[in-house]
């Protein structure tokens, strides 16, 4: 039975992925680098260190330039977030309903803790979580399962007792590799048949999540 629900943050609870994409395009243009939309999509769900390594590999730039590009992206994204950051539809409601039904709630985000806290704070969502696990606390980021396994351990749950709520292919792969029930609410990336096959369900919004978890538990029972 599912007893705990582990949430991704960016693109799942807060609407940051489009802001991040705009920041990548703007920072690449400012430095004269071709940061393609395809490359930007491959960043989703990954840690800052992983993204920096990908910039070096795919753009053929030095590590110093990659760090400069990442820093500029973060600065532009922070400016956009000041006025445009929004919660995903039904995010707070989904957390509240699950909490009321007795589920343990954990956050498992590739964002580093200061970034995650800054994104959660305007919406008061941090209070719902029994534990928060961030990308700077694990060795291998998504799509490796490390962050979800650590999040489950912090809640005192076995992997099979956990549901994962994600928006991206990298996150889905991480949850599936951890042996957890994955629920996908797609954001900027349309799931492939392969990604869909790793999920218990693909939902239209977070408003459907509590019902989908209830059905999953009924099936297991």
Scored b (16 or more CB within 10 A) or e, 203-212 reads: beebebbbeb
Cα dihedral sign for 137, 143, 158, 117? positive
Tell how strand 201-202 and strand 4-7 pair up.
unpaired
Residue 10 annotated as catalytic: yes
Residue 180, helix vs strand vs coil: coil
Catalytic option among 10, 15, 167, 201: 10
The beta-carbon contacts of 58-63 under 8 Å, at least 24 apart in sequence, are 59/33, 59/34, 59/35, 61/33
Catalytic option among 8, 15, 146, 187: 8
- The answer to whether 189 and 37 have CB atoms below 8 angstroms apart is no
Tell how strand 4-7 and strand 104-109 pair up.
parallel
Residue 207 annotated as catalytic: no
**Residues belonging to the active site:** 8, 10
């Amino acid at each position: 039975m599912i007893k705990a629900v582990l949430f991704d943050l960016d693109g799942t609870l807060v609407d940051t992925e489009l802001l991040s994409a705009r920041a990548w395009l703007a920072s690449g243009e400012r430095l004269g680098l071709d940061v393609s939309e395809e490359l930007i999509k491959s960043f989703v769900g990954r840690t800052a260190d992983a993204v920096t390594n990908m910039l070096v590999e795919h753009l053929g730039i030095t590590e110093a330039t990659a760090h400069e590009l990442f820093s500029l992206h973060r600065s532009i994204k922070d400016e956009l977030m000041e006025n445009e950051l929004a919660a995903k539809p039904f995010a707070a409601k989904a957390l509240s309903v699950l909490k009321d039904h007795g589920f343990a709630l954990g956050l498992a985000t590739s964002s580093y803790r200061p970034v995650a806290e800054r994104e959660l704070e305007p919406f008061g969502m941090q209070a719902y979580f029994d534990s928060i696990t961030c990308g700077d606390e694990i060795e291998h980021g998504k799509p490796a399962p490390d962050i979800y396994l650590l999040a489950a351990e912090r809640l005192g749950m076995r992997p099979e007792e956990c549901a994962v709520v994600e928006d991206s292919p990298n996150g889905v792969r991480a949850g599936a590799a951890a042996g957890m029930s994955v629920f996908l609410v797609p954001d900027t990336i349309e799931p492939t048949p392969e990604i869909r096959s790793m999920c218990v369900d693909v939902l239209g919004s977070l408003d459907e999540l509590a019902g989908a978890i209830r059905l999953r538990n009924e099936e297991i029972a």
